[in-house]
Structure 1
Amino acid sequence: MSTHTGPAVFHPQAARMNLPGIRSVTADQPFRWLREGAADLARAWPLSLFYGILFAVLGYALVHAAEDKPHLAMALMSGFLFVAPVLATVFYCVSHRLEHHHKLPQLFTPLLSWRANPGSLGLFTVMLLFVLISWERISAILVALFLNGSGIGGLSDLLSLDAVQQHLSFVLAYFAFGGVLALMIFSLSVVSLPMMLHRRVDFATALVTSFLATRLNFPVMLLWGVTIAVLVAIGMATNFIAMAVIFPWLGHASWHAYRALIERE
Structure 2
Amino acid sequence: MGVASRLSQHHLVSRRRVTRRKPVVRRKLAWNDAIGAAPDVALPTPLPEPNADGLAPLGFDAPHVPSALDFPLTTLGFGDPLRWLAAGWQDFRRAPHIGLFFGVCFVLMGWALVGTFRRAPEYTLALSAGFLLMGPFLCLGLYHASRELEEGHRPSFGSALTAWRQSGAQLAIFAAVLLVLEMLWGRAAMIVFAISLDGVPDFNQPLASFLTEEYITFALIYTLVGAVFAGLIYAISVVSMPLLLDRQVDAVSAGLLSMRLVLTQTGVMLWWAALIAGLTLLALVPGFLGLLLVGPLLGHASWHAYRAAVPR
Counterparts of 1:62 and 1:96 in 2: how far apart (Å)?
Answer: 31
Per-residue CA shift, 1:49-105, capped at 9, x if unaligned? Answer: 121112321332254145321120233235433432222111101111111110121
Residue of structure 2 in register with 1:120 after alignment: 170
Residue of structure 2 in register with 1:203 after alignment: 251
What one-letter code is carried by the residue in structure 2 that aligns with 1:262? V
Counterparts of 1:164 and 1:30 in 2: how far apart (Å)?
Answer: 37
1:182, distance to aligned residue in structure 2 (A): 1.1
Counterparts of 2:193 and 2:145 in 1: how far apart (Å)?
Answer: 40
Higher Rg of the two aligned structures: 2
Higher relative contact order (CA 8 A, sep 6+): 1
Structure 2, gaps ≥5 residues long: 1-64
Residue of structure 2 in register with 1:31 after alignment: 82
Counterparts of 2:179 and 2:288 in 1: how far apart (Å)?
Answer: 22
Counterparts of 1:261 and 1:119 in 2: how far apart (Å)?
Answer: 24
What one-letter code is carried by the residue in structure 1 that aligns with 2:289? I
The question of whether the paired residues in 2 share the 8 Å contact of 1:116 and 1:200 is answered with no
Distance 1:135 1:236, change over 3 A: farther
The question of whether the paired residues in 1 share the 8 Å contact of 2:103 and 2:291 is answered with yes
Per-residue CA shift, 1:97-129, capped at 9, x if unaligned? Answer: 111110121x23212111111111001111222
Among 274, 280, 294, the residue aligned to 1:226: 274
Structure 1, gaps ≥5 residues long: 1-14
2:192 pairs with 1:146: no
Further displaced range: 209-218 or 132-141: 132-141
Q: TM-score, normalised by structure 1?
A: 0.85
1:162, distance to aligned residue in structure 2 (A): 3.5
Further displaced range: 64-73 or 219-228: 64-73
Counterparts of 1:239 and 1:78 in 2: how far apart (Å)?
Answer: 20
Counterparts of 1:198 and 1:163 in 2: how far apart (Å)?
Answer: 52
The question of whether the paired residues in 1 share the 8 Å contact of 2:88 and 2:299 is answered with yes
Residue of structure 1 in register with 2:211 after alignment: 165
2:187 pairs with 1:137: yes
Counterparts of 1:99 and 1:144 in 2: how far apart (Å)?
Answer: 50
Counterparts of 1:147 and 1:120 in 2: how far apart (Å)?
Answer: 41
Provide the alpha-carbon RMSD of the alignment.
2.3
Per-residue CA shift, 1:13-39, capped at 9, x if unaligned? Answer: xx9734311111001111111111111
What one-letter code is carried by the residue in structure 1 that aligns with 2:211? Q
The question of whether the paired residues in 1 share the 8 Å contact of 2:133 and 2:175 is answered with no
Residue of structure 2 in register with 1:6 after alignment: none
Among 219, 235, 244, the residue aligned to 2:283: 235
2:138 pairs with 1:87: yes
Give the fraction of aligned pairs with identical amino acids, expressed as a percent. Answer: 33
What one-letter code is carried by the residue in structure 2 that aligns with 1:137? R
What one-letter code is carried by the residue in structure 2 that aligns with 1:99? E
